[in-house]
Amino acid sequence: MFDSFNPNAASTQDAGIYGLPFTEEDAKIVIIPVNWELTVSYGSGTFGGPEAVKKASMQMDLYHHDFPELWRKGIWMDEFPHHFKAVHSGLRKDALTIIEAIEKGVMDESKPKYKTMYEGIRKANEDIMLWLSERIAFWKERGKIVGLLGGDHSIPLGFHHYLSDKEQYGVLQVDAHLDLRNAYEGFKYSHASIFYNALQFENLQKLVQVGIRDYCEEEAIMVRENPDRIKVFFDRDMRKRMFERASWQEITDEIISELPHNVYVSIDIDGLNPVLCPNTGTPVPGGLQFEELIYLLNRLKNSGKKIVGFDLCEVAPGDDQWDGNVGARVLYQLCGLLMP
């Protein structure tokens, strides 16, 4: 169907992500966009992340250094339901009311109005989780490779829900934050709680976190108390080792050796140096350089482990297309990661 498609030509306005001509029937890879950022409390904008990545992807050359034939497999972006966007619009106002009350020191969770707000936000996040789990199952039953594109980092819980009755697996998380808080700011499904929640699924065997450089005492305690399930490669520790002549190859091989055979990859864009993602919601100095991330992902692909899914979250459009530009390239690399 793509015999007439010229991968060297400019993208047309009616093309799909990366300017590709594929439909949901003939694409091998399906990207599910999730426009969701109910609980973000610092910088917002990740709601528009999927569109920013898609827009930037139209300018990306398809002859990729690692995967020159990847585009031929077909990549197609699903559509996030409009009714969820409407729900988000209303509940985001409630979330901001709660966050403002917390910041002003006047929060009283016993008040009926706050209880109602919290309950509405909790239910909406559970609805998203269940919808996403079912949507992933829908595409998997049709033989598709599935990846998620956020939105904030709360959204992958739906993928972990889908995996919860499958084989044991591990997670490779690249992030500036541990995301192990229990109900941050009272939100059970906070973006800062994604892996606290995901670890409630027993078949998530091991969480390996890379690039971490911002965390609280509660999270540090959880890491210390769960050495068999959580392994952290702090950014500062990795840099110190590299300053003292350890190679990135040595460190990536250690990272990968901590993972079981089945691996889910979760990329929060703020795991990168914020020069690469200045508009993300919670940027932190330090972080991986772009080629360090690509090397890690390629090393994982060549390790013989089975990649069972992925997400890319926290891409937020700014005044230019820089964050979307970087995000589009990370997403393409993740697509290549899952191809045999």
In this prediction, residue 300 carries a pLDDT of: 98
Span 101-114, mean pLDDT? Answer: 91
Domain ranges of the chain: 27-338
What's the whole-number mean pLDDT along residues 235-254?
Answer: 98
- Dist. CA 181–CA 189, nearest whole Å: 10
Residue 267 has pLDDT above 60, yes or no: yes
- Average pLDDT score over residue span 276-304: 97
Above pLDDT 70, what percent of the chain?
A: 99
Average pLDDT in the 272-278 region?
97
pLDDT value at residue 339: 85
CATH architecture assignment, domain 27-338: 3-Layer(aba) Sandwich (3.40)
Is the pLDDT reported for residue 275 higher than 60? yes
- Segments of the chain assigned E as strands: 29-34, 75-77, 145-150, 169-174, 204-212, 230-234, 262-268, 306-313
pLDDT band for 320, please (50, 70, 90 cuts). confident
Structure tokens at 214: 């911002």
Give pLDDT tens digits for 162-189: 999 999 999 999 999 999 999 999 999 9
Q: Give how far the C-alpha of residue 230 lies from the chain's centroid of Cα atoms, to the nearest Å.
A: 18
Tell me what percent of the residues of the chain surpass a pLDDT of 90.
93
Q: Give the pLDDT band of residue 75 (cuts 50, 70, 90).
A: very high
Q: Under DSSP, is residue 339 helix (H, G, I), strand (E, B) or coil?
A: coil
Across the chain, mean pLDDT equals 96
d(CA 21, CA 24): 10
Instruction: Name, in order, each residue with C-beta under 8 angstroms of 9's C-beta and a sequence gap of 6 or more.
Output: none
Residue 42 has pLDDT above 60, yes or no: yes
Per-residue pLDDT tens over the stretch 110-124? 899 999 999 999 999
3-state helix, strand, coil in the chain (%, to 5): 45, 15, 40
- Mean pLDDT over residues 16-33, rounded? 96
Phi, psi for 143 (deg, rounded to 5): 80, 20
* pLDDT for the residue 2: 65
